[in-house]
């Protein structure tokens, strides 16, 4: 008797919808085992992780704030992945966006510049992120370099550039030598939605991007081109769609969205530029994109769920002394199960009872 | 059944292979239903049927690739259960597949060695390979790399590989589909000889004339069931076809063509290097096609037809704009979208993955080629109603059968999907239609619909270029035929003058030099 994977005649739409849930379920089981090994009560730990943050307003707002960059980045990434372009460097594009936008905030700091500053910062951030994403895309199209490697390596370049800027030229002279810029002026800050709350305008922008992504993919010819190039490259060429052009386009869009997310994070919840502005949003967004089935609405839900793990992780650290890195372990396991469960869309498990009559000469 | 088999010849003997009530079920679908056939030594037994009739399933069971759901096989009278192809081979069952499994970058001998069990040394094996190929008149140079060989030579490797296991029973899956008429004749000599040696051959084909000529017995399958076992020599091609299809096939009728005086498609001395290292270089291809005319391009697969299609469609661009002229406009430098805007339409050979995106809906596949020149796209937004309307019109006009209004392309049968693809292009009223293998792997009913559509399109004034390996098809619908060989195109000849012998010689490349010599002498 053996267990074999058998190809399905048709893709299973049911599994396509259920597979993220199966993946989440299996992740929770694995995490329970992990908590038990750490000597914590699994039920209590999962409660702190996934239930407690949903019970108070502050945590709920914080989840939305954390989900904002995740959703924005993942929307862009989903376009890349649908077109079979593998942008792994959203983290770097996020940082470059933050740097490009902060440049204006630093330059106008202390002047009486008007309310045009924030929109201009966002524009700069989007352009910066897009240009930075175009580097691996151009290398791919022009020289055939693997965009997976180049986009990933550029993350570290961006990280070090930011580090240099806040320790050198942009350091706040009154900042006690801490590696940070001065606190941004009010005109260079993303406004909060409710006075005294944490929710800010970025959340609204993220929702607009979800809607825009949904319209782009389902209603426009560009969205169709993106989907065909990924699903059937030869048919796309026959349709007259240029895959190189689409690689450049999807990389540019996803870089712009990551850059925008970067400046919103810096000019919003953080308030100044400093190292460590991202707990790995650009990487977590990859999980969000796949958990959300590369579908804008799915991404919104998945983004909120993974934001929950960040908040839950912080609370678990405080309440149960569970190391913060467990959150990353959780996210890694989740991606693993999501990708594994996806194979069930096209394949199914089958028990094969090998007949006893098989001759020894076989194979 | 016994009354029509030459049972008397085998009186008292037992069949080499017998299937009894062989059934294969996939879910609720019966691919094979209670099939009984007897194959005797010294017999060439044809297996006839349309695509989807269950021929492949049956031979896969016999070759041990899949297990039957019910029924049994008897080998020389004894029950046989096969665990896999290696057991089938060890019992003496060999198979030559329609699609070759050869490594292009390895030599003939290396490819053969990979298919054997590897108990003998490479040198002994090579010697035996030469021996077998010499004895059976299947000449092969063991040291040549496969990519240099013609399709006919590649098939020889597969046959020799099967013969080196000294099979008692050989299965051949549409072996002549890729051969010129002359190469097919040579193959028949080999098969007659194998038969004389006492071997049995199961011969899958849908070329009826060939079956009548070669085979002693024919079993006809339709819809997974056995319709009849008969002596093909005693039947007519029409009666065999009726049994295969289960009814009369509609004859296609050509209406009077209205030829335009100005050519609608012109190719001027087109030469193009392949972008694939094993591809074919197009060399000095010229042709002229008037409206109302259908030009056929015959030739063995892999002689540059794919490359020519890519160059005509604009999937690959020509260096010089003037090499391709569509309706008077130089188009060699234009993209496929721009060529469509000039009124050209294209139907590639491969339906799934090239002509359509398999996992996308028909409406989306209508958009795939319709976005260029129709009202399907307005200000960058897709007009879903317009794409659905194209699906409905194609469905109605060309009788596309499907389970729902707008299913995924991959869920349609080959014939229905091809009707949709051809319909999608014809509904755009093209000035020029370039179509490759229009009825490849399509059932007879759908093939008749498609051929009639091409004739009607030409009658309405369009220029139609058809590439096909099916000479009967070309004879049926074209006005003129040219032959492709090694990336060159012969001078077209009127279809009524194009005998199989003439075409076969051109397909084998043998008369090109003479023609060139004559050309040079005349100049």
pLDDT of A274 over the 80 cut: yes
Give the Cα separation of A220 and B381 in Å (integer). 4
Give the Cα separation of A313 and A297 in Å (integer). 25
For chain B, what is the mean pLDDT? 87
φ, ψ (nearest 5 deg) of residue A329: -60, -45
The predicted pLDDT at position A358 comes to 41
Question: Higher confidence at residue A240 or residue B508?
Answer: A240
Give the Cα separation of B480 and B259 in Å (integer). 13
Q: Do B81 and A355 touch (CB under 8 A)?
A: yes
Hey, which residues does B170 pair with through a beta bridge? B94, B201
How far lies A32's CA from each of A27, A28, A29, A39, A252, in Å? 9, 6, 5, 11, 40
For the ranges A71-75, B1-5, B258-262, the maximum mean pLDDT occurs at: A71-75
Q: What is the 3-state secondary structure (H, E, C) of B106-168?
A: CEHHHHHHHHCCCCCCHHHHHHHHHHHHHHCCCCCCCCCEHHHCCHHHHHHHHHHHHHCCCCC
- By Cβ distance, the residue of A10, A362, A363 closest to B411 is A10
The predicted pLDDT at position A354 comes to 54
Confidence band for B319, pLDDT divided at 50, 70 and 90: confident
pLDDT of B3 over the 50 cut: no
Average pLDDT over residues B51-56: 82
The predicted pLDDT at position B257 comes to 58
How far lies B184's CA from each of A326, A330, B213, B266, in Å? 69, 64, 12, 34
Chain A partners within 8 Å of B371 (Cβ): 221, 224, 239-240
The predicted pLDDT at position B235 comes to 87
B446: its two tokens: 């759908």
A321 touches chain B (CB under 8 A): no
Question: Higher confidence at residue B444 or residue B522?
Answer: B444
Name the pTM for this structure. 0.82
Crossing angle for the helix pair B181-196 and B151-163, nearest 10 degrees?
10
Q: Which residue of A has its CA nearest to B356?
A: A235
Confidence band for B8, pLDDT divided at 50, 70 and 90: very low
Confidence band for B517, pLDDT divided at 50, 70 and 90: low
Residues of B with CB under 8 A from a CB of A: 26-27, 81, 83-84, 86-87, 90, 313-315, 335-337, 340, 346, 348, 350, 353-360, 364, 367-369, 371-372, 377, 380-382, 408, 410-411
Question: Higher confidence at residue B144 or residue B521?
Answer: B144
pLDDT of B340 over the 80 cut: yes
What is the distance in angstroms between the Cα of B518 and the nearest Cα belonging to chain A? 40
The predicted pLDDT at position B375 comes to 83
Average pLDDT over residues A34-61: 89
- Residues 223 to 252 of A: which have CB under 8 A from any B CB? 224, 227-228, 231-232, 234-240
Is B17 in contact with B62 (CB distance < 8 Å)?
yes
pLDDT of A334 over the 50 cut: yes
B12: DSSP letter: T
Confidence band for B180, pLDDT divided at 50, 70 and 90: confident
* Residues whose CB is less than 8 angstroms from the CB of residue B227 and which lie 6 or more positions away in sequence, other chains included: B220, B221, B243, B244, B246
Give the Cα separation of A42 and A38 in Å (integer). 9
pLDDT digits 0-9 by tens, B206-240: 788 888 889 999 999 988 899 989 999 998 888 88
The predicted pLDDT at position B139 comes to 83
- By Cβ distance, the residue of B368, B381, B408 closest to A235 is B368
Number of Cβ within a 10 Å radius of residue B275 = 9
Q: Do B359 and A11 touch (CB under 8 A)?
A: yes
Residue written as token pair 């922008």 = A205
- Beta carbon pairs, A and B, within 8 Å: 85
Domains of chain A: 54-297 (1.10.3470)
Chain B partners within 8 Å of A227 (Cβ): 360
pLDDT digits 0-9 by tens, B343-366: 999 999 989 999 999 989 999 999
Q: Do A228 and B26 touch (CB under 8 A)?
A: no
pLDDT digits 0-9 by tens, A225-249: 999 999 999 999 999 999 999 999 9
Confidence band for A5, pLDDT divided at 50, 70 and 90: confident
Domains of chain B: 7-92+167-245 (3.40.50.300), 105-166 (no CATH), 263-522 (3.40.50.300)
The predicted pLDDT at position B30 comes to 85
Q: Which residue of B has its CA nearest to A216?
A: B381
DSSP of B465-497, one letter per residue? EEE-S-HHHHHHH-SEEEEEETTEEPPPEEGGG
The predicted pLDDT at position B6 comes to 46
Number of Cβ within a 10 Å radius of residue A352 = 10
For the ranges A86-100, A190-204, A339-353, B66-80, the maximum mean pLDDT occurs at: A86-100
Average pLDDT over residues B234-262: 75
The predicted pLDDT at position B403 comes to 82
Say how many CA atoms lie within 13 Å of A166 toward its Cβ.
Answer: 25
DSSP of B400-464, one letter per residue? ---SSSS-BGGGS-HHHHHHHHHHHHHTT--SEEEEESTTTT--HHHHHHHHHHHHHHHHTT-EE
Q: Do B382 and A236 touch (CB under 8 A)?
A: no
Percent share of chain A, pLDDT over 70? 96
Q: Do A361 and B364 touch (CB under 8 A)?
A: no
Chain A partners within 8 Å of B336 (Cβ): 237-240
Average pLDDT over residues B182-194: 89
pLDDT digits 0-9 by tens, B445-497: 888 899 999 999 999 899 999 999 888 889 989 999 999 998 999 999 998 88
Is A359 in contact with B87 (CB distance < 8 Å)?
yes
Give the Cα separation of B431 and B522 in Å (integer). 35
Chain A partners within 8 Å of B355 (Cβ): 235, 238
For chain A, what is the mean pLDDT? 90
Q: Give the CA-trace dihedral at A90, A91, A97, A102, to 10 degrees.
A: 170
Average pLDDT over residues B233-259: 76
pLDDT of B48 over the 50 cut: yes
Closest CA to A117 of A133, A129, A101, A100: A101
The predicted pLDDT at position A152 comes to 96
pLDDT digits 0-9 by tens, B18-41: 999 999 988 777 889 999 999 999
Give the Cα separation of A94 and A274 in Å (integer). 13
* Residues whose CB is less than 8 angstroms from the CB of residue B237 and which lie 6 or more positions away in sequence, other chains included: B208, B209, B212
pLDDT of A4 over the 80 cut: no
Give the Cα separation of A24 and B209 in Å (integer). 61
pLDDT digits 0-9 by tens, A13-32: 788 888 888 999 999 999 99
Q: Which helix (H) or strand (E) holds B32?
A: strand B29-39
A7 touches chain B (CB under 8 A): no
Q: Do B353 and A232 touch (CB under 8 A)?
A: yes
Q: Do B367 and A221 touch (CB under 8 A)?
A: yes
ipTM value > 0.90: no
- By Cβ distance, the residue of A227, A235, A362 closest to B86 is A362
- Residues 208 to 227 of A: which have CB under 8 A from any B CB? 219-222, 224, 227
Strands B432-436, B344-347: pairing kind? parallel
**Number of residues in chain B:** 523
Percent share of chain B, pLDDT over 90? 46
């Amino acid at each position: 008797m053996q267990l074999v994977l058998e190809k399905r005649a048709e893709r299973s739409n049911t599994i396509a919808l259920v597979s993220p849930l199966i993946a989440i379920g299996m992740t929770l089981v694995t995490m329970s085992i992990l908590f038990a090994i750490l000597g914590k009560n699994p039920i209590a730990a999962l409660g702190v992780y996934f239930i407690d943050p949903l019970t108070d307003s502050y945590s709920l707002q914080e989840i939305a704030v954390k989900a904002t960059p995740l959703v924005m980045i993942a929307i862009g990434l989903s376009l890349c992945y649908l077109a079979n372009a593998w942008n792994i460097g959203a983290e770097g594009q996020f940082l470059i966006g933050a740097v490009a936008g902060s440049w204006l905030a630093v330059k106008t700091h202390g002047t009486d510049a008007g309310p045009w500053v924030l929109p201009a910062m966002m524009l700069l951030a989007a352009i910066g992120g897009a240009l930075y994403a175009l580097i691996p895309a151009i290398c791919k199209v022009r020289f055939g370099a693997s965009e997976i490697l180049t986009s990933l390596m550029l993350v570290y370049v961006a990280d070090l550039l930011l580090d240099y800027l806040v320790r050198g030229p942009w350091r706040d002279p009154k900042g006690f030598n801490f590696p940070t810029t001065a606190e941004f002026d009010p005109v260079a800050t993303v406004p909060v939605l409710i006075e005294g709350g944490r929710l800010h305008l970025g959340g609204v922008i993220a929702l607009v991007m979800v809607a825009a992504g949904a319209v782009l993919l389902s209603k426009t010819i560009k969205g169709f081109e993106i989907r065909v190039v990924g699903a059937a490259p030869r048919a796309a060429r026959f349709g007259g769609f240029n895959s190189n052009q689409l690689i450049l386009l999807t990389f540019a869009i996803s870089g712009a969205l990551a850059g925008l997310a970067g400046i919103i994070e810096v000019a919003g919840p953080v308030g100044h530029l400093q190292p460590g502005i991202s707990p790995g949003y650009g990487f977590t967004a990859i999980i969000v994109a796949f958990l959300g089935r590369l579908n804008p609405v799915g991404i919104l839900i998945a983004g909120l769920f993974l934001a929950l793990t960040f908040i839950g992780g912080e609370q678990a650290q405080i309440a149960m002394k569970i190391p913060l890195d467990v959150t990353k372990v959780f996210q890694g396991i989740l991606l693993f199960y999501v990708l594994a469960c996806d194979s069930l869309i096209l394949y199914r498990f089958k028990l094969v009872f090998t007949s006893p009559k098989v001759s020894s000469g076989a194979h | 059944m016994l009354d029509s088999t030459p049972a008397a010849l085998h009186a008292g003997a037992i069949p080499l292979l017998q299937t009894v009530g062989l059934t294969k079920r996939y879910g609720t679908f019966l691919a094979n239903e209670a099939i009984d056939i007897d194959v005797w030594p010294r017999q060439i037994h044809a297996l006839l049927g349309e695509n989807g009739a269950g021929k492949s399933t049956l031979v896969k069971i016999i070759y041990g690739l899949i297990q039957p759901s019910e029924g049994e096989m008897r080998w020389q009278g004894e029950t046989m259960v096969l665990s896999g192809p290696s057991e089938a081979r060890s019992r003496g069952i060999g198979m030559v597949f329609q699609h070759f499994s050869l490594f292009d970058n390895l030599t003939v001998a290396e490819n053969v060695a990979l298919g054997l069990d590897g108990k003998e040394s490479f040198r002994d094996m090579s010697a035996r390979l030469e021996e077998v190929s010499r004895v059976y008149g299947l000449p092969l140079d063991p040291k040549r790399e496969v990519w240099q060989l013609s399709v006919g030579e590649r098939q020889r490797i597969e046959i020799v590989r099967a013969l080196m296991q000294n099979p008692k029973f050989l299965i051949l899956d549409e072996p002549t589909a890729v051969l010129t008429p002359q190469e097919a004749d040579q193959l028949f000599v080999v098969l007659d000889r194998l038969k004389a040696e006492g071997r049995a051959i199961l011969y899958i084909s849908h070329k009826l004339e060939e079956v009548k000529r070669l085979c002693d017995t024919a079993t006809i399958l339709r819809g997974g069931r056995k319709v009849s076992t008969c002596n093909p020599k005693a039947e007519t091609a029409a009666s065999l076809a009726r049994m295969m299809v289960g009814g009369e096939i509609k004859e296609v009728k050509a209406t009077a063509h209205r030829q335009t005086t100005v050519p609608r498609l012109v190719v001027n001395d087109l030469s193009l290097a392949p972008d694939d290292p094993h591809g074919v270089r197009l060399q000095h291809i010229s042709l002229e096609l008037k409206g109302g005319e259908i030009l056929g391009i015959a030739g063995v697969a892999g002689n540059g037809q794919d490359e020519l299609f890519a160059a005509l469609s604009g999937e690959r661009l020509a260096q010089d704009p003037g090499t391709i002229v569509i309706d008077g406009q130089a188009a060699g430098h234009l993209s496929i979208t721009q060529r469509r805007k000039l009124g050209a339409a294209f139907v590639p050979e491969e339906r799934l993955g090239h002509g359509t995106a398999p996992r996308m809906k028909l409406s989306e596949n209508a958009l795939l080629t319709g976005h260029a020149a129709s009202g399907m796209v307005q200000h960058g937004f897709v007009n879903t109603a317009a794409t659905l309307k194209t699906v409905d019109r194609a469905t109605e006009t060309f009788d596309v059968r499907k389970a729902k209004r707008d299913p995924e392309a991959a869920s349609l049968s080959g014939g229905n999907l091809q009707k949709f693809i051809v319909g999608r292009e014809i509904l755009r009223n093209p000035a020029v239609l370039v179509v490759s293998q229009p009825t490849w792997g399509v059932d007879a009913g759908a093939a008749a619909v498609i051929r009639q559509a091409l004739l009607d399109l030409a009658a309405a004034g369009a220029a139609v270029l058809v590439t096909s390996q099916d000479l009967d098809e070309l004879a049926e619908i074209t006005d003129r035929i040219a032959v492709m060989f090694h990336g060159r195109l012969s001078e077209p000849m009127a279809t009524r003058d194009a005998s199989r012998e003439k075409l076969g010689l051109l397909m084998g490349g043998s008369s090109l030099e003479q023609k060139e010599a004559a050309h040079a002498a005349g100049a």
